[in-house]
Amino acid sequence: MNWYIKVMKDYTNFDGRATRTEYWYFTMFNILFYIGASLVDVIIMVPIASMLYGLIVLLPGIAVLVRRLHDIGKTGWWILLSFVPVIGFVILIYFLVQDSHPDNEYGPNPKGR
């Protein structure tokens, strides 16, 4: 849960690097909270909770994704690859599961701290 809170507090930071742990824990809690918001939508029969939650986590999600790409030495512009059907998503997932690269132009290796 600490990783989720860290990402939410650091939502305007597109510089630096994010480890796999930070990214994937954020993603896991994001999915769980979205499922919870969807259940609220079913109960009240209005899809407002999930849409509101999606808007709240949009910017932090993009920021942590950019920082994760920086961690493997890629620029944030690689996010645009997600707009290529199927293959773009597969390539992006491949990038996201890679281990941290040594120090690069985006900063020191966060695992070395």
pLDDT, tens digit, for every residue of 32-46? 999 999 999 999 999
Output the 3-class SS for 1-15.
CHHHHHHHHCCCCCC
pLDDT band at 18 (very low <50, low <70, confident <90, very high): very high
User: Does residue 112 surpass a pLDDT of 90?
Assistant: no
pLDDT, position 1:
85
- Distance between CA 31 and CA 100 in Å, rounded? 24
**pLDDT attached to residue 54:** 96
* Per-residue pLDDT, 24: 96
Tell me: pLDDT of 113 over 70.
Answer: no
